[in-house]
């Protein structure tokens, strides 16, 4: 292959590194009105009065909007497929605020100082209500967070707002209770995962204006421009045909920009004032007023025989969706669908749970999207089971994990296979990933621990699987336009958010057309000019969008061969296509791609060649990973240091190895952050203590000193040139692998993330008293 499997630099990398304008705020009109939002100081309250105190009369204050300016239209801000599997429980502005940082009203003025002056003199009177701050007490709590009659589900998702339940789910295979009775060993344990902030470099920002045709243009740092257009149109009861959404360059998303945030207020003010305007979130607003990862309590029960055969698997989850239900059900589902099928030899499985409302900052999409929470609990409990079985945890996984050509009934039940059938593993080298990871970690020399006085090193491991888009739902499309001089425009709705998708999709187009990469000029994510794409989420871009690009490329190649045949006056069967040169097979005639382009545009047989391609996955082929952690624990202080992390990944063909490596390493760092450092801390009044980078700790190069990543040599037949996804798989294993390594080092199990020195020392001291 000419372009696939090669380390091409990002097509936008040099320009961005040298300071070329490209990010959302770079594109704002210099005369834009500045928008600032007054946010709730209370976790749960009803707005009884808003006294502007003349704020609307301050010269330069152009607009103040409150809940009274909007129709009562309930939407979900989740950028997902349609109809959305999230409850419609959010209004542009409401007379009830449901978390600290929720929107109360917005001011637009000619500068920020005037906005702040206006906000400072506005008085809001609240009827403060008792908040729900403990998600384990949410069901049946006397405070009902959503009692609005407009709130609804688009289809049955277990929505019971009167009980503070945003969604619920249950499924089972076999008879779990009976199979547990047959097991030699049964273990059950509860695990807790915390809220985690996205901590992307670029805050949420958007700007808008009305063009000369009276259409609303929105530039926004989003992962889902087409979903943004639909949600804005619905919430404002405004024609979708009069809205254009453009995604410029994005400075990191990680799922946090999969939802609508400031765009609704921005659009409303742009339409009301008919002036350009912009909104840029402060870092405090990003933490408090957007989304975090869903905290969960995960109850796991496992049963097995003495020979290491796993027989029964029972998982119940309680998930905290916060004040609104964006992504409530789907994150929960992924906690099961991307974890339970890994152990497909089991006789029976049960997966149940509820997703509850609280008065916390809402939960939303975050890289790993439920899989990391489920993986931490299950992979930790697997080690607990192996300890009681007196069975090697690596051998147990190798005995029970999914393999090439195998399937799991869970795929069909939870929507991961083709219609009416389960998905079979047509590519799976999880066994290789485990074996190679053992070698790289030098596992046999280090397991379970190596002591050096008061400091003890231990190793732990975990396996993971993810997905490649959402089958039967995620759709992507692409258009290729052939130009004079022989180059191509690639128009894609796929959303570049820093991961390199513009580059990788250009490589796929170049490979299909057998041309150098510089012959592909890519333009992405403009709802007017590019074809539809669901956006950058669910690990869909390489697989779903990549297949769409390949389909368009294959069609364009056919058109080029046809036009060359017409030029030569021969049948298409006589054409030899070589990319930049097309000739007859006997060598008597030839034409360069550039000359063919000029001929079609300017001279004979004039026409514009355009090819399109679309793709909807019929399955979601999983990437796999084995992760291995080595930690050092100081037994006197509990201090933990991550000495080494090894990851071996099966993601099919690595379309661009350098970019794939960056995706895995970036995911690992975020997973390590969740495992050891990051935690959204909320005080007794529902306010975030960790709402800035001084208080919210993320790992840096100083903490992560050594990391080894390798890729298995695999090929997924259904993927573009053999590729599966790679964007999320790296994040999943660190929490469980590190927790298992800590236990192997000092004999204490930490079941509540993050794994801190304080928790480890507390458990060490407890164990000494027993």
pLDDT of residue 34: 98
User: Which pLDDT score is estimated for 49?
Assistant: 98
Over residues 463-507, the pLDDT tens digits come to: 999 999 999 999 999 999 999 999 999 999 999 999 999 999 999
Q: Pairing between strand 610-616 and 123-128?
A: unpaired
pLDDT tens profile 153-167: 999 999 999 999 999
How far apart are alpha carbons 624 and 341 in whole angstroms?
A: 12
Return d(Cα 727, Cα 368) in angstroms, integer. Answer: 9
Higher pLDDT, 46 or 770: 46
Where does the pLDDT of residue 416 fall: very low under 50, low under 70, confident under 90, or very high at 90 and above? low
Share of the chain above pLDDT 90, in %: 97
- How is the beta sheet containing 96-97 ordered, strand by strand? 96-97, 45-51, 123-128
For residue 513, pLDDT beyond 90: yes
Q: Does residue 421 surpass a pLDDT of 70?
A: no
pTM of structure: 0.97
pLDDT for the residue numbered 768? 83
Say if residues 426 and 403 touch (Cβ distance below 8 Å): no
Distance spanning both ends of the chain, measured CA to CA? 63
- Between CA 42 and CA 408 the distance in angstroms is 47
Widest CA span of the chain, in angstroms? 91
Task: Tell me if 465 sits within 8 A of 474, measured CB to CB.
Answer: no
- Report how far residue 622's alpha carbon sits from residue 731's, in angstroms, rounded to the nearest whole number: 14
Mean pLDDT of 226-240: 98
Task: Quickly tell me which residue has 């499997």 as its tokens.
Answer: 5
* Domains in the chain with CATH codes: 13-129+201-252+257-289 (3.90.1170.50), 296-470+619-769 (3.30.365.10), 475-616 (3.30.365.10)
Lowest mean pLDDT among 38-52, 637-651, 678-692, 756-770: 756-770
Q: CA-CA distance, 281 to 106, in Å (whole number)?
A: 13
Query: 129 near 143, Cβ under 8 Å?
Result: yes
The answer, yes or no, to whether residue 418 has pLDDT greater than 60, is no
Q: Name the average pLDDT for the chain.
A: 97
- Tracing tokens 């007490």 back to the chain, one arrives at 137
Q: Compute φ and ψ for 567, nearest 5 degrees.
A: -65, -40
- For residues 431-459, b (16+ Cβ closer than 10 Å) or e, as one string? bbbbebbbebbebeebbbbeeeeebbbbb
Asked if residues 12 and 22 have their Cβ atoms less than 8 Å apart, the reply is yes
14 vs 25: CA distance, rounded Å: 19
The answer to whether 395 touches 412, Cβ cutoff 8 Å, is no
Contact 24, 220 (CB under 8 A): yes
Residue 419 has pLDDT above 90, yes or no: no
- For position 604, what pLDDT does the model report? 81
| The pLDDT of residue 459 | 98
Angle between helices 734-746 and 657-676 (to 10 degrees): 50
Instruction: Taking residues 726-741, report their average pLDDT.
Output: 98
Question: d(Cα 26, Cα 559) in Å, to the nearest integer?
Answer: 39
Q: How far apart are CA 603 and CA 88, in angstroms?
A: 56
Strand partners, 220: 206
Q: How far apart, in whole angstroms, are the C-alpha atoms of residue 208 and residue 519?
A: 33
Provide the pLDDT confidence category of residue 605 given band limits of 50, 70 and 90: confident
Measured between alpha carbons, how far is 362 from 320 in angstroms, rounded to an integer?
A: 8
pLDDT at 185 > cutoff 70: yes
């Amino acid at each position: 292959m000419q372009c696939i499997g090669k380390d091409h630099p990002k097509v936008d990398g040099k320009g961005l590194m040298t300071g070329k304008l490209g990010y959302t705020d770079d594109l704002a009109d210099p005369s834009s009105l500045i928008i600032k939002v007054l946010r709730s100081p209370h976790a749960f309250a009803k707005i009884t009065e808003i006294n502007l105190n003349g704020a609307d009369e301050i010269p330069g204050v152009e607009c103040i909007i409150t809940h009274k300016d909007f129709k009562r239209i309930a939407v979900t801000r989740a950028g997902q497929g349609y109809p959305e599997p999230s409850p419609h429980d959010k209004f542009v502005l409401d007379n009830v605020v449901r978390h600290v940082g929720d929107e109360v009203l917005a001011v637009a003025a000619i500068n920020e100082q005037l906005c702040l002056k206006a906000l400072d003199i506005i008085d809001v009177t609240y009827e403060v209500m008792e908040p729900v701050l403990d998600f384990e007490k949410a069901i049946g709590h006397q405070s009902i967070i959503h009692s609005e009659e407009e709130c609804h589900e688009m289809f049955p998702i277990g929505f019971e707002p009167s009980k503070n339940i945003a969604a619920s789910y249950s499924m089972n295979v076999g008879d779990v209770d009976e199979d547990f009775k047959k097991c030699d060993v049964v273990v059950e344990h509860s695990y807790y995962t915390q809220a985690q902030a996205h901590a992307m470099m670029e805050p949420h920002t958007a700007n808008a204006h009305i063009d000369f045709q009276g259409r609303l243009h929105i530039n926004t740092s989003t992962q889902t421009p087409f979903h943004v257009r639909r949600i804005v149109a619905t919430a404002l009861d405004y024609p979708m045909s009069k809205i254009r959404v453009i995604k410029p360059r994005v400075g990191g998303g990680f799922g946090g920009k999969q939802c609508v945030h400031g765009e609704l207020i921005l659009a409303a003010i742009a339409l009301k004032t008919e002036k350009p305007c912009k909104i840029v979130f402060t870092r405090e607003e990003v933490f408090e007023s957007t989304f975090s990862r869903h905290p969960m309590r995960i109850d796991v029960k496992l049963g097995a025989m003495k020979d290491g055969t796993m027989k029964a698997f029972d998982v119940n989850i309680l998930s905290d969706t916060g004040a609104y239900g964006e992504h409530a059900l789907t994150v929960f589902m992924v906690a099961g669908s991307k974890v339970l099928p890994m152990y497909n030899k089991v006789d029976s499985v049960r997966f149940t749970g509820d997703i509850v409302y609280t008065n916390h900052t809402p939960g939303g999409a975050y890289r790993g999207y439920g899989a990391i929470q489920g993986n931490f609990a299950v992979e930790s409990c697997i080690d607990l089971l192996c300890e009681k079985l007196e069975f090697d945890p690596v051998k147990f996984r190798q005995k029970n994990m999914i393999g090439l050509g195998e399937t799991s009934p869970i795929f069909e039940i939870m929507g991961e296979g083709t219609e009416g059938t389960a998905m079979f593993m047509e590519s799976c080298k999880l066994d290789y990933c485990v074996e190679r990871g053992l070698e790289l970690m030098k596992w046999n020399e280090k397991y379970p621990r190596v002591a050096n006085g008061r400091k003890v090193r231990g190793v732990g491991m975990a396996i993971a699987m993810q997905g490649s888009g959402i089958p039967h739902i995620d759709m992507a499309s692409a258009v290729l336009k052939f130009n004079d001089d022989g180059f191509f425009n690639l128009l894609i709705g796929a959303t570049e958010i820093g991961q390199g998708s513009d580059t990788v999709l250009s490589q796929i187009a170049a490979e299909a057309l057998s041309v150098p990469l510089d012959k592909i000029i890519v333009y992405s994510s403009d709802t007017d000019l590019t074809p539809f794409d669901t956006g950058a989420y669910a690990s869909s871009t390489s697989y779903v969008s990549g297949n769409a690009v390949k389909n368009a490329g294959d069609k364009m190649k056919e058109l080029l061969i046809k036009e060359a045949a017409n030029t030569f006056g021969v049948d298409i069967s006589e054409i030899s296509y070589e990319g930049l040169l097309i000739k007859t097979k006997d060598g008597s005639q030839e034409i360069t791609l550039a000359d063919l382009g000029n001929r079609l545009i300017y001279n004979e047989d004039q026409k514009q060649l355009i090819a399109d391609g679309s793709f909807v996955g019929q399955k979601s082929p999983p990437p796999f990973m084995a992760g291995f952690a080595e930690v050092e624990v100081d037994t006197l202080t509990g201090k933990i240091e991550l000495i080494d992390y090894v990851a071996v990944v099966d993601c099919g063909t690595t379309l661009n190895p350098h970019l794939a490596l960056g995706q895995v390493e970036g995911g690992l760092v975020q997973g390590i952050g969740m495992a050891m450092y990051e935690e959204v801390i909320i005080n007794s009044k529902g306010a975030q203590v960790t709402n800035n980078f001084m208080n919210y700790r993320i790992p840096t190069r100083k903490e992560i000193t050594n990391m080894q990543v390798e890729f298995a040599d695999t090929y997924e037949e259904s993927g573009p040139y053999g590729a599966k996804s790679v964007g999320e798989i790296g994040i999943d294993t660190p929490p469980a692998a590190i927790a298992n390594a800590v236990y192997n080092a000092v004999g204490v199990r930490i079941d509540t993330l993050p794994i801190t020195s304080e928790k480890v020392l507390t458990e060490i001291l407890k164990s000494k008293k027993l």
